[in-house]
C-alpha cells in the first residue's frame, strides 16, 4: 500500500492508497486545497473543521449537479443501465463521505 502526502490549508496529511493511485490522490488533494483557498479568500480562516464542512458541502453540491446531468443524459437509456450508473455513483459518494469523516476525525484529534 502506498502513502501520499496531501497538503490542505498548509497542513500535511499522510494518506494511504492503493499502489498506482498516488497521482490521482494527489490531484484530489490539490483540488480540495484549491477549494479551501477559495473559501478562505471569501470568508477568512474560520477553523479547519468548519472549512472542511464547507468544502464538503461545495463538493457535494458539485456531485449533485453531476447526478442531475447524468439523469438528463441517461433519460433515453434503459432503466437498468441508469440504475447501474446511479449505484456506481452512490458507492463513490459513500467512499468520499467515509474519507471526509476520517479527515474530520483526524482534525478533531489534532
Q: Which pLDDT does position 21 carry in this prediction?
A: 93
d(CA 103, CA 49): 9
Query: What are the distances in angstroms from CA 49 to CA 14, 21, 67, 102?
Result: 18, 26, 27, 12
Distances (CA, A) of 83 to 30, 66, 67, 77, 89: 31, 15, 12, 10, 10
pLDDT digits (tens, 9 = 90+) for 36-67: 999 999 988 888 889 889 999 999 988 988 88
Q: Are 15 and 25 in contact (CB under 8 A)?
A: yes
| Model confidence, pTM | 0.63
Amino acid at each position: 500500500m502506498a502513502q501520499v502526502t496531501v497538503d490542505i490549508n498548509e497542513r500535511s496529511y499522510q494518506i494511504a492508497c492503493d499502489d498506482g493511485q498516488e497521482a490521482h490522490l494527489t490531484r484530489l488533494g490539490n483540488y480540495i486545497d484549491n477549494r479551501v483557498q477559495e473559501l478562505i479568500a471569501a470568508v477568512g480562516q474560520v477553523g479547519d473543521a468548519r472549512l472542511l464542512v464547507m468544502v464538503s458541502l461545495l463538493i457535494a453540491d458539485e456531485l449533485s449537479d453531476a447526478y442531475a446531468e447524468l439523469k438528463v443524459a441517461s433519460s433515453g437509456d434503459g432503466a437498468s443501465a441508469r440504475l447501474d450508473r446511479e449505484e456506481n455513483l452512490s458507492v463513490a459518494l459513500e467512499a468520499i463521505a467515509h474519507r471526509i469523516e476520517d479527515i474530520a476525525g483526524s482534525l478533531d484529534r489534532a
